[in-house]
Amino acid sequence: MAHPLPRSVTIRPASRLQGRIRVPGDKSISHRALMLSALAVGESRVEGLLEGEDVLATAAAMRAMGATITRSDDAIWRVNGVGVGGLLQPQAALDMGNSGTSTRLLMGLVASHPITATFVGDASLSGRPMKRVIDPLSTMGADITASPGGRLPLMVRGLCPAVPITYTLSVASAQVKSAVLLAGLNTPGITRVIEPIATRDHSERMLAGFGADITVEQGESGRTISIVGEVDLKPRSIVVPGDPSSAAFWMVAASVVPGSDVVIENVGLNATRAGLVTALRLMGADIVELDPRVVGGEPVADLRVRHAALRGIDVPHDLAPSMIDEYPALFVAAAFAQGRTIARGADELRVKESDRIAVMKAALMANGVRCEEHEDGLTIEGSGGDPIAGGAEVASKLDHRIAMSMAIAGLHARAPITIDDASPIATSFPGFFDLLHTLGGEASWG
């Protein structure tokens, strides 16, 4: 039975971490599996879906727009879709909770359908800017009325037929790319997205799997993804691999806690998501891929991670798009490395669930780690493998990745670390503390 997640949790130092665990299904793939299944004609079957609050918000929204979505006792999700162009007018506002992915991608779907949808969210999501999605969708003809600063609550009035566009991403964002491509699904003609820097490609892979007419070309200006609109999607069976963003915390934990030996099963290793594995290996991490295979069109392996003496590095900037969600965990790894780690090129962190640069700096410094803040990252002075001081309470700022990253830091600290509010973890990793206890960690709830 999963532990409840009250507001406060205290993590105590661990002597070592050992065992085999399986992380939840990939959040990015789970969102897209529900959305595209809901646009296919017929029944799709999804196995391994992440059942966190963010993905459940997507499921609720697709139900509100006409799809039939059920979960059986064996955790298989079945989706009977309405077809491209068949989304129905929702009768109430779509509550996105804390999920930026749900919001931005669903805005894309609504933008080219003849319906109007209002998007609302929690305090954290309502503080996050949506302008980067509003701009291209407005160019396609959607009428979007947002709160000041381009924030939620906002209303999208779709245009059908919408106008196909060629859009060059000004920032490396898979969510913006995906929103435009999803809008292009119900738009006559060809919609194109040009990304100068490659981002995660789950949307392209899954659209192709559902039968969309989509092509990807590499040119001098970057990758051009083209989608032909008004094509029927075919139902399919999907197996969701384990989320590399969830595996990140255990890769770091096993690397920094002496004596640790952990196997993380069924981890997705899509090249556009595997930047943290590359960065940790550059730091000297002992990560071995066992039984590499392909599951649902995605590369997967079991990862064996053993404690290793990490060293500080200058993190290559070109890794940022493939590990943007994992930077908080990387900052924790850097806190235990020998020497200085410079992790920059990640200004996107400023507009996540929290300002992850500022919040992680404050959390690490409160627990004895020396940091220097930059506009696009942090420079961190490592402990050389020794425990950090710990002993402080961390403000999670309603950010699940801050809470989990600092929980991992508490496993190798001289004094316990307290997270003021662990409840956001349920958005992406409801079984996080169960796995912590499975591996030998100790947490107590306040």
Please tell me whether 200 is known to bind a ligand.
Answer: no
Instruction: Return d(Cα 64, Cα 22) in angstroms, integer.
Output: 32
Please tell me whether 325 is known to bind a ligand.
Answer: yes
Which phi and psi (to 5°) does residue 63 adopt? -60, -45
Please tell me whether 138 is known to bind a ligand.
Answer: no
Tell me, what amino acid is at 168? T
Q: Is 232 assigned a catalytic role?
A: no
Instruction: Return d(Cα 441, Cα 412) in angstroms, integer.
Output: 10
Beta bridge partners of 308: none
CA distances 252 to 148, 150, 334, 391, 425, Å, are 39, 36, 10, 20, 17
* C-alpha 217 chain-centroid distance: 25
Q: Which two tokens stand for residue 207?
A: 């659209």
Please tell me whether 151 is known to bind a ligand.
Answer: no
Q: Are strands 151-157 and 116-120 parallel, antiparallel or unpaired?
A: antiparallel
- Active-site residue (options: 54, 325, 399, 421): 325
Q: Which two tokens stand for residue 340?
A: 């200085």
Please tell me whether 356 is known to bind a ligand.
Answer: yes
Q: What is the 3-state secondary structure (H, E, C) of 244-263?
A: HHHHHHHHHHHHHCCCCEEE
Please tell me whether 350 is known to bind a ligand.
Answer: no
Contacts of 165 (CB under 8 A, 6+ apart): 136, 139, 140, 180, 191, 192
Instruction: Return d(Cα 150, Cα 59) in angstroms, integer.
Output: 25
Q: Of 281, 256, 261, whose CA–CA distance to 269 is shortest? A: 281
Please tell me whether 22 is known to bind a ligand.
Answer: no
Q: Can you tell me whether residue 199 is helix, strand or coil? A: coil
- The binding site for phosphoenolpyruvate consists of 27, 100, 128, 175, 356, 401
Which residues have a catalytic role annotated? 325
- The binding site consists of 27-28, 32, 100, 128, 173, 175, 325, 352, 356, 401
